[in-house]
Amino acid sequence: MKNAVIGIVFSEDRTQVLCIKRRDVPIWVLPGGGVEEGERGVDAVQREVREECGVEVICKGTACEYYPHSFLAKKLATVTVVLECCPVAGKAIILKPQEESLEVAFFPVDALPEPFFEMHRHFIRDALQGMATTAQPLPGVTVGSVVKMLITHPILVFRHLLARAGVPYNS
């Protein structure tokens, strides 16, 4: 499984964050995705933010790196590097859903839209707290969190499993 990158694009005052509502699994997340073979993480996050939000960004640095630490996490996730980004200076920010997204918007970090991917809440919190010094265990991937998601959002879980199997369900 290839590594993943997540781009955290904060407002200038760091009170809002750029989020997308995925098309394949309609849940709010931070923009990001897989790192292609031979691609640098910085290039991958710039590509992913552009592909999902239509926004050109530059990377300010690594917010944190997470690794799967349990059997379940290793089956469901991969090493994830979260990079803090900012829009390219002088370019107009025009938020526009792209092929992989239904909606794109900035939200206050303390009032994120629902449903919001719980792991990404941890990423935002850690970035705001400056957790870049050490790699962290991947948060939120527990048997309890998976069961809770199955009970509260069974259709989203089914759509996620279809997407992971290479059969995305796009509406």
Q: Which pLDDT does position 9 carry in this prediction?
A: 96
pLDDT tens, position by position, for the chain (171 residues)?
A: 578 899 999 998 999 999 999 988 888 999 999 899 999 999 999 999 999 999 999 999 988 888 876 665 555 567 789 999 999 987 778 888 888 899 999 999 999 999 998 889 989 998 998 866 567 766 655 556 556 666 665 666 666 566 656 666 554
Question: Any idea where the domains of the chain sit in the sequence?
Answer: 4-164
Strand order in the sheet with 28-29: 28-29, 16-22, 101-108
**Is CATH 1.10.132.20 the classification given to domain 4-164?**
no
